[in-house]
Every structure is written in C-alpha cells, then in structure tokens.
Structure 1
Amino acid sequence: MFDKLGQLKDLWKLKSQMEEIKKRLDNMVIKVDSPRHLFEVTISGSQEVKEVRVDALIKNFGEAEIAEDLKAVINKAVRDSQGMAAQAMGSFGMPKA
C-alpha cells in the first residue's frame, strides 16, 4: 500500500516537472535564417512558430529556389527547437528522446 503511495507521489512530481518544462519551452525562442536569407523563422522550444519574416529579395528568386529555402529554414527551426527541448529535459534529469 505504501509503495503505491510512493508511486503516486512520483507521478505527481513528474507531472509538475513536465508542466515546468512546458512553461520554459513556451518562453524560449530562437530565430533561424534561411540559406539565401529570404526567410527568418522564430520558433519556440515547444515547436510553435511565432513569426515568419519574408525578405523583399524574394521577388528575385524562382519558385523552386523559394520552396527550397523555405523548406530548409523550417527543418532547421524544428531541429533547433527539438535540441532546446532535449536540453530543457536534461536539466531536469529526464532522459533525452
């Protein structure tokens, strides 16, 4: 019986830690520039895109180049955001995914 109480207490602690991590990640942001500098994406640690800026030079590029640049900046932003999340989880002693 006391073992189950201990497990419940551990679950409550884990829930509190996860809520704290989520708050931190929601408030952490990074800006990522695309390879051709056509786009700048601001993304949170919880992988929510906060802002996308488009440079005026975009009109000088073709559709394929624009699509490639956009894809590159989104993928980098997501990877960087995942790295932030892994660091935040590690700071709480949680295993990195």
Structure 2
Amino acid sequence: MFDDMDEIASDYDSRIREAREARGQSQEELAQSLNEKASLIRKLERGDILPPDTVRKKLERKLDITLVEGASDDDSEWSSGGNTTTTLGDVVKRKD
C-alpha cells in the first residue's frame, strides 16, 4: 500500500518559499493561483504540515520544483535501469 508513496524532501518548506519568492508572489497570490487557502501555504512554508499529494502536485507544476527525494539505494534493486520488459518466459524454468 505504501510502496507508491513518494518521500517528501526534508527541505520542502524552503523549496516552496524560495520558488514563490523568486516569482515575486506573496503567499496569498500563490494560494489563489492554486485555489487553496493562504493559511495552508503559510503552514507548508513553516514546515508545520506535509503537503497532501494533490497540493504537492499543484505546487510542483506551478512553481516548477520537485518536493520529493530522489530514489534511494534500496529502490535501485527494483528498477530495471532501462526499458526492458521481463516476461513470464524469462523467469519460468521448464521441466521437460
């Protein structure tokens, strides 16, 4: 169930604030453009709460940032590293 969850970056609050300030927007202006409340933006920038996935995606699109950590070393064993596809025939051993 939790395998699909992205890990929020530890500095997500400063990433949001710096990107907003670089665009010359106030917290209220950013909130309005996202159709969210300004109090939510304030709480996110203070690091009081983690952004819900819907809000995180809106922030990433609007501010052109990423709020998730990169894949950890533990995840590397699960990725194929390319566009190859493993089929059942690649895995099954026949008994003849």
Return the TM-score normalized by structure 2. 0.29
Higher strand share: 1
Higher helix share: 1
Return the TM-score normalized by structure 1. 0.29
